[in-house]
Amino acid sequence: MIEEKELLDIFPAVSYDSWKAQAVKDLKGADFDKKLLTHTDEGITLQPLYTKSDLPQDADSLPRRFHKAQAGLWQLQQEIRESDPVKFNAALRNELEKGLNVIVLPVCQGVPPVQTALHIHNLEDLQKALEGIDLTKYPLLVRSGESAEAWQESFAALADLRGEKLEDWHLSILADPFSFWAEYSKSSAKAESIFQSLRRSLKKNLSVKGLEINTAIWHNAGASATQELALALLMIVEYIDETEDTELKAEHILQKLSVHFAVGNHYFMELAKFRAFRLLWDTLLDAWQVKSIPPHITAETSHYFATKVDAFTNVLRSATQTFSAIAGGVDGITVHPHDAAFQESSEFSRRIARNIQLILRDEAHLGEVSDPAGGSYFVESLTDELADAAWKLFQQWHAQGGFLNLFKGGELQKLTAEIHQKRLEQINKRKQHIVGVNAYVDLKTKVPVAAKLKNEVVILENSVQLFENPIQFLKGGGSIYTLQKSLLGEAKGETFPNLEKFTLAENYERLRQIYEQHAAEKQPLKVMLLTFGSLKEYKSRAEFSRGFMEIGGYPAIYSEAYKTVEAVAAFDEKCDILVICSSDEQYITNGEALIKTLREKYPDCYLILAGRPPENKARLEAAGLNNFIFLGADAYAIHRTIFREKGVL
């Protein structure tokens, strides 16, 4: 038996230089940087190997203040999208019995309410939604946008009606005007009035948490992890600048603050994002000379990376995203149902979303380890690089006038859209894959048509009334939104440059929908793969071509294997698209004659060659070839071209 100490002698340490020399040798002349370095949207270059020398300077003090605001497990903050208060209440009761431990009330956030899932207009509706729920047992989370003050009064009225004390409830009414403005490109009143209302709501001190920094909307607009972190810092600073006064100090505001992120697909980058924020948070506290306040961080799975087609793949995405957030040490997570992108979620889809968290908590026991990534050479290095990049970007944006200045000027919207466009280029060329969309397509699943979510606009009184006793007004049947309007005053709001929200899959999904409609109303396009030469010459390119063509929504049929151009003359399959699959040598030797033969027989067929354009490209195109498909080709552009040629577009 080998003693433990002898293992170090059997497997001696290898230096990075020795490892790199061997890697260069194994690459056989290929460029080391191009093959093994990864450049990210965050401007960070990922190395193929990390060693102890990559650890930050304060490595000896690891774990480095990656404390959670609350000890123990994270909160399950699932949303229930039911518009009717009674149905919401029934669904909520069921969810609480099945493991939900936080109530998220998806209320209207503006005046008038622009969009809502839960229609709560007055105290009666609020009472119905929470009927029979023990609010001393379950924390209650309300994202109130500009309307925190009115919702504070509403819950005070509810507590009075129920004969309970509001201070016994674990209530967090989270104000976040910035997110409301970014979501709807307008405010309900002048910014000054809204900040005054925010200041009053924070001073009342009725909530466990009273202010939220929500970067999820910017994530869904394409922001990188660096931009999300810098935006969070920028908004924290701006909120404190706008609300701090002699009675309301920065320390109190920070104690009432919760920060909310969306979680993307890059597992380690997202994990590092949460860890990096804690470092940046402590830097801000030092700037305000505030003693250590643990940051309260929550997260939600990404809408940006979700797909409509083959929606069950979203379960896999949500699971890895949730794992990243837990390993990053968040205090609460919302896992969106896999079908949330195109319909009101069912009890089944909500159950699947909830179970992702329950399995990771109760079977994987992820919440029992504090900072599980701590000490990893890679994660520690990535955390520091990300924090450093975000801090520099924050300083740059702060010097340019801060959040409101850049937001009103449209600069932030432009910068996040640029990141989205860079990602689209990678998706279009399939350098990044979206399973079920631009890779491994399942043609048995169709792109669902998004259902129109229930929506209601409340017509408010033209005049603004001031209520001396808001609780009595609400108990008398008064509208919550009428009360909020009175609190904000009659001055009209502002409009802001639009922040466009995206999903990475939307272009391909739109393309698939167009084709599926065409196939249903007219007839499907027939795609043939013409295999030429030996099995070794055509097999890999035929398999590649089948996957490439399925992206557009049409199946590809293999022909028999042909050995000669003369034999191809017997090919008798009328089709709309024909992909020739063989080797570069065959293309140079027989390509021109092959294409001429096919073009003469099928003058209207769209002819494609599988492979990069060979040296005789010009002659092949002159013979009648329409296009080439290959690894790195712009699949989205090619399918749009085919659609135009075949009358689909």
11 band by pLDDT with thresholds 50, 70 and 90: confident
* pTM (2 d.p.): 0.92
Nearest residue to 224 via CA among 403, 419, 433: 419
Q: Would you call 435 helix, strand, or coil by DSSP?
A: strand
Task: Measure the CA–CA gap between 491 and 191, rounded to whole angstroms.
Answer: 10
| Cis check: omega of the bond before 112, within 30 degrees of 0 | yes
Identify the pLDDT of residue 117: 66
Contact in structure between 493 and 187 (CB atoms under 8 Å): yes
Identify the pLDDT of residue 472: 83
Contact in structure between 578 and 607 (CB atoms under 8 Å): yes
pLDDT in tens, 303-333: 999 999 999 999 999 999 999 999 999 999 9
Task: Measure the CA–CA gap between 550 and 438, rounded to whole angstroms.
Answer: 9
Q: Would you call 1 helix, strand, or coil by DSSP?
A: coil
* Cβ partners under 8 Å of residue 89, min gap 6: 128, 129, 130, 131, 132, 133
* Cβ partners under 8 Å of residue 263, min gap 6: 270, 299, 300, 301, 302, 321, 322, 324, 325
Task: Measure the CA–CA gap between 330 and 308, rounded to whole angstroms.
Answer: 27
Identity (one letter) of the amino acid at 74? W
Task: Measure the CA–CA gap between 431 and 427, rounded to whole angstroms.
Answer: 6
Contact in structure between 480 and 416 (CB atoms under 8 Å): no
Phi, psi of 559 (to 5 degrees): -90, 175
Contact in structure between 234 and 398 (CB atoms under 8 Å): yes
Identify the pLDDT of residue 83: 83
Tokens of 549: 């063509």
CATH 3.20.20.240 domain position(s) in the chain: 75-488
Residues in the chain, overall count: 649
CA dihedral in degrees (218, 220, 225, 227; nearest 10)? -30
Residue 466 reports pLDDT greater than 70: no
Identify the pLDDT of residue 454: 47
Strand order from edge to edge, sheet including 627-629: 556-562, 527-532, 577-581, 606-610, 627-629
CA distances from 30 to 16, 34, 333 (A): 19, 8, 43
Tell me the mean pLDDT in the region 475-502: 84
60 band by pLDDT with thresholds 50, 70 and 90: low
Contact in structure between 61 and 371 (CB atoms under 8 Å): no
Long-range Cβ contact pairs of 205-209 (< 8 A, separation 24 or more): 206/152, 206/155, 206/156, 206/166, 206/167, 206/171, 206/173, 207/152, 207/171, 207/172, 207/173, 207/174, 207/256, 208/139, 208/170, 208/171, 208/172, 209/172, 209/174, 209/256, 209/257, 209/258, 209/296
Crossing angle of helices 480-488 and 191-204, in 10° steps, is: 110
Q: Name the more confident of 520 and 57.
A: 520
Give me the CATH topology for the region 523-645.
Rossmann fold (3.40.50)
Quote the percentage of the chain above a pLDDT of 90: 72
Tokens of 392: 């520099």
Tell me the mean pLDDT in the region 137-145: 92
458 band by pLDDT with thresholds 50, 70 and 90: very low
Over the range 242-278, which residues count as b (16 or more CB within 10 Å of their CB) and which as e?
Answer: bbbeeebebbbbbbbbbbbbbbbbbebbbbbbbbbbb
Q: Which CATH number is associated with domain 75-488?
A: 3.20.20.240
H or E stretch at 135: none
Burial class (CB in 10 A: 0-12, 13-18, 19+), 5: exposed
383 band by pLDDT with thresholds 50, 70 and 90: very high
pLDDT in tens, 588-643: 999 999 999 999 999 999 999 999 999 999 999 999 999 999 999 999 999 999 99
| Cis check: omega of the bond before 48, within 30 degrees of 0 | no
pLDDT in tens, 187-243: 988 999 999 999 999 988 777 899 999 999 999 999 999 999 999 999 999 999 999
